[in-house]
Each structure stands twice: as C-alpha cells, then as structure tokens.
Structure 1
Amino acid sequence: MVERIDSSANKKVKLAASLHSRKHRDKEGLFIAEGIRLVEMVAASGWAVRYGFYTPELLAQARGKELCAKLAEQGVTLYEVPAPVYQKASATDTPQGILVVAEQKKSRFAELAAAENPIYVVLDGVQDPGNAGTIIRTADAVGANGVILLKGSVDVFSDKTVRSTMGSLFHLPVCPDVSAEDLQAFLTSQNLTIYATALDASAKPHFEQDFRQGCAIVFGNEGNGVSAELLQAAVKTYIPMYGEAESLNVGVSAAVVLYEAVRQRKF
C-alpha cells in the first residue's frame, strides 16, 4: 500500500522544508538530498536516511521506479505527495520528483584512515556553495584523502553545496567546522606540509612545488584569500597567469593545483 501525504501542513513536510535553513539543519543534524542522481548516490553510500518524498510522475520513469524500490528495500519510508506538497519541501526550481531527508555525517581527524603520503584539501573561509561543492568534487576526482572546512566556511550540508558536490560528499571524508589551531595540530602530528595559495613575493609557482610528499593544500576566501594565521605556517604557492585576467575562481584554482599534484604523483 502506498503511503501518501496530501497536506503541506504535515509534520514531515514542514521538517523537510525547515532544513533549507542552516539553523534547523544544525539543530536536527539532518539535510536534504534531492534529485534522482543524488538520491541514488545516497542510497549507494550507506548514509542513514530518515524518509523521503516522491511525486507520482517519478514512477513513470524506470530509473525512478527502481530507485524507490531500492530505498524501500533499505527500510526507508517513502511518501507519495502531489506536486504542490513536494514543492513545499523542495529547494529547486525544476524538481526531479524525489528527495530524501538524510542524517549528516561529519568526519573527525581521529576517523581519517592512515595513508602513506596523504593529500588533504583545506577550505579556509570559502563562502560560495558552488565553489565549495566543486572543490569537494575535484578532491574526490583526484583521490584526495579528505576535505577539511575551517570555521567560517560555507555549510557543507546546504542545499546548493550538496548539489554542487554531485555526490562526492557521500564517499569522501569531509571534516567541517574545524579551527585553525586544531588543523595545525593535526597536520603537525602527521608530519604533513601545508601549502597555501597566495599572491606573495615569496610564493613559488605551483608546478615548482613538491606535492609528492604528505601534505595539505589550503584554498582561501574568494575575496580575502588564505588567512594570515595559516599563511605564516604554510609554503606559499601561486598559479602563473599570462593574459589580462586578474585572478582565477577558487574552484578553478583548486582544480589546477590538485591536478598538478596528480601529475607529480601518478605520471
């Protein structure tokens, strides 16, 4: 029998809608994953899902029907809802007809797997959800050992950040809300070199750095760059530019530097 919710005043609908606010996400320890591809990746990840909503139109697609069946096999309660009720819980302009309320999963330093010459990606005050999500996705693509977000960075569980990660959030360790002091203590304990992107007279081009050793690479705030506290402890690096552009988007910068690390390590 299909479980159905027809009112946007339903408690589960109201809870899902509230999760578009960071205050409520933090309070509940929950977040929204929306869209067929993202929900497929949640289902494959083993992350805990409280419940989900889908529209009747979703079941007309073989992929949507299969996804609902998989979630049901995992014990997830799914509610069929009409479009207006779904829209109340949704955060997208063009909904794909399925979303789930999932439990946040935050990695801690003690949980990071030991690895030889690991590479960590650090976000220092990165504010834009699209940039943060892109960097997490790129870190996943290059095989980084984890992403660390310092206090003052964007909420990794915001709707836009989750979507921008394209699912990489679900299979890469991500440590949010870390203090600069705790970061430096961790990196020192692991004997890791800190690199930071900076336009500084003492900085060297990224292709002159040795990223083959265990390291953490810090990417800073879109307007102000990496904080002075971290710059003091870091090896400074920059990406040479030869045209008229003044700067690169931080997401692009991360891709350029991280793939130089891949070139050094793999080729």
Structure 2
Amino acid sequence: MSTNILTILCKGIVTRVSNANSIRCYSRWTHRKPSKVVLPFEAAPKTNLKTEKVIDLSSVVEEKKEKAQQKQRVSMPNVDKEIADAKLKQENKNQQEKFKDIKESRESQLKKRKFYLSQKKVFNDDGEIIYEKLKDNDGRINYLLVKLKSKKERLHTRQMLVEGWRLIVDGLKAKCKLNYVIFSDVEDLNRLRPFLPKTGVLFYKIPYKEIGLWSDVETSPGLFGVFEMPTSENIARTSRPLPLHLVCDNIRTPGNLGAILRAAVAVGCDKILLTKGCVDLWDSKVIRSAAGAHFRQPIQPSVEWEDIETLLPHDTSVFIADSNTNVLDEENSIQSSVPVVPYYGVEFANLKHVTLIVGGETEGISVESYRFAAAKNGVRLNIPLQQGVDSLNTGMATAVISCEIRKQMTQAWAKLKLQKQDVQAT
C-alpha cells in the first residue's frame, strides 16, 4: 500500500516538472519567428525578405516648425514681419547699451577706488571704509610686519605695532599718526570708525590665520595697527601732571616695565626716563602690558646716567625704591650713605619736585643710582611687609609709592584751594 502511494507521488512530481519545462521553453521562443535557417554548406536559397519602412525624421521636424509658424501668424495676424524684426533689433540694442552702462559704471568705480587708495582716503562717497583685500602670504604684509618685529628696524622706521582695537583707539584719541590697519573681519572696523581720520590710513584685509601667525598672544583679536612712534612733544595731556619724574634703572622684564608705565600714567607722572640696559620700550609685550601708556605719557628711552641730571629740575628731591634694609659692609659705602625710611614717612607735599628711581627685580638698583642719589642727598624708600614676604613686584612697588605721593600732593592742593576760597569769601 505504501509503495503505491509513493509511486503516485513520484509520477505527479515528474508531470509537474515536465509541464514547467515545456511552459518555460514555449515562453522563451514565442517571440522569435525565423523564416528559415540557412546553413553555410547549402546553396543560397531564393527568399523574399520584406523591406522595412524607414521614417524620415527631418520631414517631421519641418512639419512641426511649419505648424508653429502658422500658429504664430494666426496669433499675430496684424503684425508685420519687418516690425517684429525691428523690435528684436531694438531689444538687442537696449541690452547692449545696458551692458555698456554697467561696464562703464564698474570701471568708473574701480578708477575712483584706486584714486582714493592712492590718496589714502579712509571713507568713500557712501561713508564706507575703503580697504584692500589681499591674498594669502602677500609680500607687502610680510615685509611690513617683519620690520616691525625687529628692534633695529622699528627704530629706523620710527613705527610701532599695536594689537587690538582698544590700543588703536587709545592711539587715535591721543592724536597719534596711524599709518596702517591690518584686520580679518570688517565688523572690527566699526569700533574704530568714530575715531578714524579722513585721510592718511591704509586698510588691508587678510585671513585670520595669517594674523594668528604674527600675533604674540594665544588668541589674537584679529586686528593690528601701525602708528608712528609718539614723542614727548606730540603727546596731548588730558590733566595736570604731578611734579614727579620716574627713572627706570635696568628693568629687563617687558611685563614689569609695562606695569610701571601703567602705574605712572595712572598717578599722573610728569615724565619717565629709561636708562640704558632697560628692555626695548617699543617691544610688543611692553606695549600690551602698558595698556596705552605709550600714547599718554612722555617717555625718553636709552638715557645715560651722565645726562640724567640735565633732564631733571635742579630743585628735585631724589628717592630710590629699595627693599633692602640690611646693614651694609664697607664695600658698599655708597649704598650705605643713602638712608632708608618707610615710604609713608616722607612729607612729599612739602617738596617742589620728586624723582623716584625704580630698579629691576633681577639686576636690582645699580651703583650709578646710589651714586646719583648720594650726590643729591637722596633717600631710600622701603615698603614694610609682613614676615615671610621679602619684596613686592617692581610694578606693584612703583604703584604703592607713587600713589602715596599723589595722595599727599592732592590733599595739599585741595587744602590750599580751600584756604584761597576762604580768603576770597572774607
């Protein structure tokens, strides 16, 4: 019984497979209708092959074009062909004239821009700042910045480099001559706009990555300004200065010198003298740490000790900011001849003029300073500190002593002013 069932199943499967094969083969060959198979070894038969009808597309295209023209004639029955051609020519002429006008206006704008740049004009007719966009590694920028980074070239060209819009504004407020502005973002110029002169400044736009290569800070503000070095004659004072001269002796650190200059400007010092051996006054780190003091304070660098006496008033009182209060040996007899007092123990208001000498932290006070103070019957000023603290930073010590001098002098001036008012009232 089981054998018969298996036999019937096998016959059914074979039948289905054969039917599927026949259907597949039939469907594959239904679309092919060969008239005859010609073998290579047989004679050429006489067959009648049907010729296919070839459609000429060029005639179809011509018919479509003709129909389109007929439609156009129907849509404009009253328009003559000559009028249409005249309109087309007029349109072409108008377009040519329009293009010519645009070209002439652009050329005139370029000529005007070149003229403004040659004349170093800052603003155009629309009130916008005129600048020149430069490519990467432009030779003019590299040449200019290389010279400004060299101390010798800075002194030769009498130009200084400042970074950031605040220092540029400080220089413009002090009426110092601005020659170049190098920037990367046009929006930064809006902060300078109210203070810019009408002529004399060239603006160059360069990529920010190039400004970052020339910058001395970790994150550059993206704005450089090149000024002519201010002198003692062209600095405009905003207030009455104190009768105080400051002498910097062997200040070697740029940050310390900048802090001293900043403190001197804050108290209203009359003049600052830098002896030979101090760090370069126009170094970028000194300019940055001084926070605009170069534009507000007369500073005379590289002064010899033989010439200092001629640069000071004859009735000045000399003081040395000195943290050393120890008893000195015989070899330092010049230093021991200058007495030491606390900085608040001197009546500065009773003096006509004060000269304060400040030394560097590394080198200290020089022998020339002690010799000069001894010849002028000078005094060493000491700032008393808590135990465990030897001394203050040079900039901090200058600020403490100069602020004490300013306090005593302003109090004396205010008292004298009140006495005059009382006399006038009586």
**TM-score exceeds 0.5:** yes
Mapped partners of 1:13, 1:88: distance in 2: 11
Deviation string 1:183-213 (CA, Å, 9 cap, x unpaired) is 12322x4321111122245311111123232
Inter-CA distance 53–116: structure 2 relative to 1 (3 Å threshold): closer
Q: 2:263 aligned with 1:133, yes or no? A: no
AA matched with 1:204: V
Inter-CA distance 35–223: structure 2 relative to 1 (3 Å threshold): same
Inter-CA distance 209–74: structure 2 relative to 1 (3 Å threshold): farther
Give the conservation status (yes or no) of the 8 Å contact 1:17–1:90: no
Mapped partners of 2:241, 2:177: distance in 1: 30
Among candidates 296, 321, 342, match of residue 205 of structure 1? 342
The alignment's TM-score, normalised by the length of structure 2, stands at 0.56
Mapped partners of 2:342, 2:359: distance in 1: 17
Trace 1:248-263 onto structure 2 (pairs within 5 A): 248-263=392-407
Identity %: 28
Give 5+ residue unaligned stretches, structure 1: none
Trace 1:142-161 onto structure 2 (pairs within 5 A): 142-161=267-286
Deviation string 1:15-65 (CA, Å, 9 cap, x unpaired) is 223322322222322110110111111111111122110112xx335xx41
Give the conservation status (yes or no) of the 8 Å contact 1:195–1:217: yes
The alignment's TM-score, normalised by the length of structure 1, stands at 0.88
Among candidates 336, 357, 369, match of residue 218 of structure 1? 357
- Larger RCO (CA under 8 A, 6+ residues apart): 1
More helix by share: 2
Deviation string 1:62-114 (CA, Å, 9 cap, x unpaired) is xx414156436353111111113323443322111211111112438xxx9xx
Among candidates 233, 238, 243, match of residue 382 of structure 2? 238
Aligned match of 1:180: 305
AA matched with 2:146: A
Aligned match of 2:45: none
Trace 1:5-16 onto structure 2 (pairs within 5 A): 5-16=134-145
AA matched with 1:160: K
The alpha-carbon deviation at position 149 of structure 1 amounts to 0.9
Mapped partners of 1:246, 1:184: distance in 2: 32
Give 5+ residue unaligned stretches, structure 2: 1-129, 328-338, 374-378, 412-426
Q: 2:132 aligned with 1:3, yes or no? A: yes
Mapped partners of 1:50, 1:116: distance in 2: 29
Mapped partners of 2:153, 2:241: distance in 1: 39
Trace 1:16-55 onto structure 2 (pairs within 5 A): 16-55=145-184
Trace 1:58-77 onto structure 2 (pairs within 5 A): 59-60=186-187, 64-68=189-193, 70-71=195-196, 73-77=198-202
Give the conservation status (yes or no) of the 8 Å contact 1:16–1:101: no
Mapped partners of 1:266, 1:117: distance in 2: 9
Equivalent residues, number: 257
After the TM superposition, which of the residue ranges 64-73 and 143-152 deviates more from structure 2?
Answer: 64-73
Inter-CA distance 50–2: structure 2 relative to 1 (3 Å threshold): closer
Mapped partners of 2:299, 2:381: distance in 1: 24
Q: 2:309 aligned with 1:170, yes or no? A: no
Give the conservation status (yes or no) of the 8 Å contact 1:35–1:96: yes
The alpha-carbon deviation at position 117 of structure 1 amounts to 6.7
Mapped partners of 1:74, 1:171: distance in 2: 23
Deviation string 1:195-237 (CA, Å, 9 cap, x unpaired) is 1122245311111123232011010021232211121232211
The alpha-carbon deviation at position 116 of structure 1 amounts to 9.0
Aligned match of 1:227: 366
After the TM superposition, which of the residue ranges 143-152 and 232-241 deviates more from structure 2?
Answer: 232-241
Q: 2:318 aligned with 1:194, yes or no? A: yes
Q: 2:232 aligned with 1:107, yes or no? A: yes
Inter-CA distance 52–60: structure 2 relative to 1 (3 Å threshold): closer
Aligned match of 2:32: none
Mapped partners of 1:266, 1:36: distance in 2: 33
Mapped partners of 1:90, 1:23: distance in 2: 19
Give the conservation status (yes or no) of the 8 Å contact 1:195–1:216: yes
Deviation string 1:128-153 (CA, Å, 9 cap, x unpaired) is 11111111111111111121111111
AA matched with 1:139: A
Give the conservation status (yes or no) of the 8 Å contact 1:14–1:89: no
More strand by share: 1
